[in-house]
Chains A and B, each alone.
Chain A
Amino acid sequence: MNIWLVMLIGGLLTFGMRFSLIYLFGRFEVPETMRKALHYVPPAVLSAIIFPELLYSSGNFDLGLGNTRMLAGVVAVLVAWYTKNTLLTILAGMAALVILQLI
């Protein structure tokens, strides 16, 4: 599918969700279960992307110490945990990858 069409549909759906309950005020409430479930969207979606990026980085499943992206990812997780700083996490992860690839 054309990227412009994807962006247009994605944008319309995003607008639709933002507009939905402002428009439907009084006619529809968000069910409690859905309200709860939405809290888990960010960790679920993002982890679903992160894990394969780190462990299938060569195209094959690789848990070995030769997998530099996995090791650099672990460094990033630690930095994110202790600093909670986006920029620092990205810089540490990139630096770790570059250094590990040199070794």
Chain B
Amino acid sequence: MSESRKAFLNGVRAEIPLLIGVFPFGMIYGALALNAGLSTLASQLMSSIVFAGSAQFVTAQLVHDSAPGFVIILTITVVNLRHMLYSASLAPYLKNLSLKWKALLSYLLTDEAYAPSILNYEKEGITPVGHWFLLGAGFSLWFIWQISTALGIFLGAAIPKEWPLDFALPLTFIAMVVPILKNRPMVAAAVSAGVVALLAYGLPYKLGIIFAALTGIIVGTVLENAKSPRKAL
């Protein structure tokens, strides 16, 4: 077996535990996107056009709330900003690749592809086949995300309209937020964003979400700096 193929399969293998967690998530996304009012085709293709779990859930919610396009785009941007960190972190390992490879691996750069790949790079350093590992991890996640979305859309269509399925979206967000509230700045970020969202609820174009999110981000960052001012230097 060639070295590149071996690296690819190692990437797939490292990704498997994450795939098990992602599969039900993709199904939930598919079912909820459909329920939120997106067409079957739009629900499915969002999984390859945007290809970012939490941004897709948030988009479904905002479509359900009839938020205008620019607010949805702004929110997707804020939610996905963290990918710049992954990009920065992997950049030194990918610097010798062609532009095509860089573009392909960037497209596949999700939270779940990043995690095993950075560990692999830190262990192995730059090798001639290192990018095949990232491709294996990224592609297997992409593949499972498309399949699970399709299955979710298929099953979601069978759920009776009277069921309050739209409530599953905020519940999904609760399941994402609560486990990360591990310290005071995190809690403060969540609570301040929530309170501002309530106060700004009446603003047009659902702009309250943007203001609330920015408030939470600033409150969390300021509190973290206040706690450990030396770390900020």
Q: Which residues of A contact B (CB under 8 A)?
A: 1-11, 13-15, 17-26, 29-30, 32-33, 35-56, 61, 69, 72-73, 76-77, 80-81, 84-87, 89-90, 93-94, 97-98, 101
Q: A11 and B221 in contact (CB under 8 A), knowing A41-B79, A43-B216, A98-B164?
A: no
Interchain Cβ contacts under 8 Å between A and B, 8 examples:
A1-B68, A7-B59, A42-B180, A43-B177, A43-B190, A44-B220, A76-B171, A93-B174
Contact present for B72 and A40 (CB under 8 Å): no
- Main secondary structure on A side of the interface with B: helix
| B16 at interface by CB-CB < 8 Å | no
A24 to chain B: closest CB distance in Å? 8
Contact present for B88 and A30 (CB under 8 Å): yes
Contact present for A15 and B107 (CB under 8 Å): yes
| B176 at interface by CB-CB < 8 Å | yes
A79 to chain B: closest CB distance in Å? 8
| B18 at interface by CB-CB < 8 Å | no
| B153 at interface by CB-CB < 8 Å | no
| Chain B residues in 8 Å Cβ range of A17 | 77, 80-81, 83-84, 87
Nearest residue (CB) in B for A12 is B49
Contact present for A14 and B50 (CB under 8 Å): yes
Nearest residue (CB) in A for B110 is A18
| B173 at interface by CB-CB < 8 Å | yes
Q: By CB atoms of chain A within 10 A, which of B72, B87, B220 has the most?
A: B87
B198 to chain A: closest CB distance in Å? 5
Which stretch in B3-11, B116-124, B140-148, B205-213 binds the other chain?
B205-213
